[in-house]
Amino acid sequence: MITLPPLYPLKFSPILKEKVWGGNKLQKLFHKTAKGNVGESWEISGVEDSISEIANGPLKGHTLNWILKNYKEKLVGEKVYQEFGNQFPLLFKFIDAREDLSVQVHPDDFLAKERHNSFGKTEMWYILNVENDSKLIVGFNKEINQKQYVHYLSKGKITEILNTIPINKDDAFVLKPGTVHAIGAGVLLAEIQQTSDITYRIYDWDRPDTNGQMRALHTDLALGAIKFNQSNSKIAYSPVKNSPSLISTTDFFTVNKLVLSKNYIRNLKDIPSFTVYMCIEGNAVLESDDFSEEIKMGETILIPAQLPELKFSTNSASFLEVYIP
Whether 96 and 22 have beta carbons less than 8 Å apart is answered as: yes
Confidence label for 7 from pLDDT (cuts 50, 70 and 90): very high
Q: What is the distance between the alpha carbons of residues 93 and 142, in angstroms, rounded to a whole number?
A: 31
10-235 shares its CATH topology with 245-323: yes
pLDDT digits (tens, 9 = 90+) for 175-234: 999 999 999 999 999 999 999 888 899 988 888 777 777 788 888 889 999 999 866 799
Q: What pairing do the DSSP bridges indicate for beta strands 264-267 and 245-249?
A: unpaired
Which residues are 84's β-sheet partners?
Answer: none
Q: What is the distance between the alpha carbons of residues 173 and 189, in angstroms, rounded to a whole number?
A: 11
Q: What is the distance between the alpha carbons of residues 269 and 73, in angstroms, rounded to a whole number?
A: 14
What local confidence, expressed as pLDDT, does residue 216 receive? 84
Number of Cβ atoms within 10 Å of the Cβ of 97: 24
Residue 258 has pLDDT above 70, yes or no: yes
Which class does domain 245-323 fall in? mainly beta
pLDDT digits (tens, 9 = 90+) for 267-300: 999 999 999 999 999 999 999 988 999 999 999 9
Whether 323 and 258 have beta carbons less than 8 Å apart is answered as: no
Under 8 Å CB-to-CB from 212, ≥6 apart: which residues? none
Give the pTM. 0.95
What local confidence, expressed as pLDDT, does residue 325 receive? 95
- What does the domain layout of the chain look like in residue ranges? 10-235, 245-323
Confidence label for 118 from pLDDT (cuts 50, 70 and 90): confident
Residue 262 has pLDDT above 70, yes or no: yes
Whether 222 and 105 have beta carbons less than 8 Å apart is answered as: yes
In CATH, what number does 10-235 get? 2.60.120.10
pLDDT digits (tens, 9 = 90+) for 52-109: 999 999 999 999 999 999 999 999 999 999 999 999 999 999 999 999 999 999 998 8
